[in-house]
Amino acid sequence: MAGRLSFANITALAPMVRVGTLPMRLLALDYGADVVYCEELIDMKMVQCHRVENEVLQTVDFVAPDERVMFRTCAREKRKVVFQMGTADPERALSVARLVEKDVAAIDVNMGCPKEYSTKGGMGAALLSDPDKIEAILTKLVGGVSLPVTCKIRILPSLDDTVTLARRIEKTGVAAIAVHGRLKEERPRHPVHCDYIGAVARAVSIPVIANGGSLDLVKCHDDIRAFKEACAASSVMLARAAMWNPSVFRRAGPLPLHDVMTQYLKYALRYDNHAFNSKYCLCQMLRDKVESLLGKRVQAAQNNRELSEAYGLDDVFEETQAELEARRHALRSPEWRRGDVVAMDGDVATMALKFQRRQYPPQLTPKMFLLEWSRRQKTAQPTYHTVQRAQDRAFQSTVTVDRKKYRSSLWEKSKKFAEQASAVVCLRALGIPEGREGEENGGRQQKRKMEDDRDSDEEKRKKRMSDGDRESDKNVEPTLHA
């Protein structure tokens, strides 16, 4: 299908836990990788995440309930990034695939991880001995998402069994199979079985992606072709060779490691990568030089500033921080808010935002502002309708104001927060101050104004009452209680 990611004749960055985060993926693309896999992400954790458009970093983040970013991606890699998940459950796999569907190019299922944390939950290499489960997961995914679906397996002890499994996988409608040419009991130092990969490649008609050649076969770009030919495969996937030096994807040959690490760190700063993750990746690149002076400074670094200092990138660190701060500031300003993206979901105006309690002064909430605004407009009091979803018990609220509906597309952990988020959407959509700290005419200043107005309303009311104008009193809404 046009526009779908093709796995034929490609070179890919393999999925690697901790290594395959955004800076490494972008770097691999810069150096010539055609496709980049993210690190394996476990379905159980991903289903709890919500999708956040991070306007400051210009990324899409999938954020866990404890606010940890589990998966960060950006427009640059949208057509190249494969989301790899660990799963043993077709329904959950599909929920996760749908959650990320808009932001990635393909979905992959890990069927090769031999680590206990994977296999004891029936995931990773445990799936290799449960072909019915493999079939159920892949069929569900292929039928349930519009993206190509792939899987990554290890070989089985018998060549015939390996081929039979690959044929069964092909029948589910997957777009490609990645084959790591080792048994699940074999360690990364053992030689890769190119003959098994070759047998699979000859037996199926979808692209086979050969994997496992980093240690002894692939040192530079030319070796990629040789490995591919040795496996009679359509494509190649590199893990360790790319982890040690991502410029292995360069046709013109690898670059000096120091330059590569510098580029890596620039991406890490630009995308606010967690310092410990960046440190881990830099240590993998340093390899035997990890005990050098530079290596020791990297190991000792506790944050991005210290990592930058180790590489003499102090200026880049300061510049990047200043740029991000400037963007944060611009996003806080009222001018930007007028440009807030409102999308219609049926008759409901939506925005993707979460309620940030700390942005508002104590005892002031967007709901109060909305109620106060409605009172002045002499429209009916806002009404909130809240729903809770089963998978993670999160809440989403829709507020009706003046017969129009508003809601946030992001789910909240409590009913209270969901209502506040919908109130923020309404206030922003209508361009009404919402009382945030730092907002022009916002926060405490607004509160004082609301109190002053209330006092003068009370004065007027008393006057009207004394004038005998009791009828108009019906229009006075109750005082703030949101």
Tell me whether residue 113 is one of the annotated catalytic residues.
Answer: yes
* Pairing verdict, β 348-351 and 343-345: antiparallel
Residue 244 beta carbon to ligand FNR: minimum distance, rounded to whole angstroms: 9
Q: Of 284, 225, 278, 224, nearest to 257 (Cα)? A: 284
Q: Whole-angstrom Cα distance, residue 317 to residue 323?
A: 10
Mark residues 213-252: x for contact with ligand FNR by CB under 6 A, - for none. Answer: xxx----------------------xxxx-x---------
Number of other CB atoms surrounding residue 248 within 10 Å = 28
Binding window for ligand FNR (CB under 6 A); candidates: 209-217, 298-306, 368-376, 421-429: 209-217
Measured CA to CA in angstroms, residue 326 lies from 319, 320, 334 at distances of 10, 10, 14
User: How many residues in the shown chain lie near ligand FNR by CB under 6 A?
Assistant: 24
State yes or no: residue 211 binds ligand FNR (CB under 6 A).
yes
Residues 161-180 that bind ligand FNR (CB under 6 A): 180
Mark residues 84-113: x for contact with ligand FNR by CB under 6 A, - for none. Answer: x-------------------------x-xx
Residue 194 beta carbon to ligand FNR: minimum distance, rounded to whole angstroms: 12
Binding window for ligand FNR (CB under 6 A); candidates: 14-22, 356-364, 389-397, 460-468: 14-22
State yes or no: residue 16 binds ligand FNR (CB under 6 A).
yes
What backbone phi and psi angles, to 5 degrees, belong to 348? -105, 125
Residues 183-202 that bind ligand FNR (CB under 6 A): 188
The smaller minimum CB distance to ligand FNR, of residues 105 and 450, is found at 105
CB 108 within 8 A of CB 82: yes
CB 148 within 8 A of CB 175: yes
Mark residues 60-89: x for contact with ligand FNR by CB under 6 A, - for none. Answer: ------------------------x-----
The answer for residues whose C-beta is within 8 angstroms of residue 152's C-beta and 6 or more apart is 15, 84, 108, 109, 110, 111, 112, 177, 178, 179, 180, 209, 211, 237
Q: Which of 5, 10, 14, 33 binds ligand FNR (CB under 6 A)?
A: 14
Binding window for ligand FNR (CB under 6 A); candidates: 207-215, 267-275, 336-344, 398-406: 207-215
**Which amino acid, 359?**
Q
Q: Which of 72, 152, 270, 279 binds ligand FNR (CB under 6 A)?
A: 152
The smaller minimum CB distance to ligand FNR, of residues 109 and 424, is found at 109
Q: Whole-angstrom Cα distance, residue 196 to residue 27?
A: 31
Residue 231 beta carbon to ligand FNR: minimum distance, rounded to whole angstroms: 12
Q: Whole-angstrom Cα distance, residue 421 to residue 443?
A: 17
Q: Whole-angstrom Cα distance, residue 341 to residue 227?
A: 48
Structure tokens at 219: 């040192």
Candidate list 38, 113, 151, 231, residue with the active-site label:
113
CB 294 within 8 A of CB 310: yes
Number of other CB atoms surrounding residue 299 within 10 Å = 14
Task: Give me the residues that bind ligand FNR (CB under 6 A), please.
Answer: 14-17, 19, 39-40, 84, 110, 112-113, 152, 180, 188, 211-215, 238-241, 243
Active site amino acids:
113
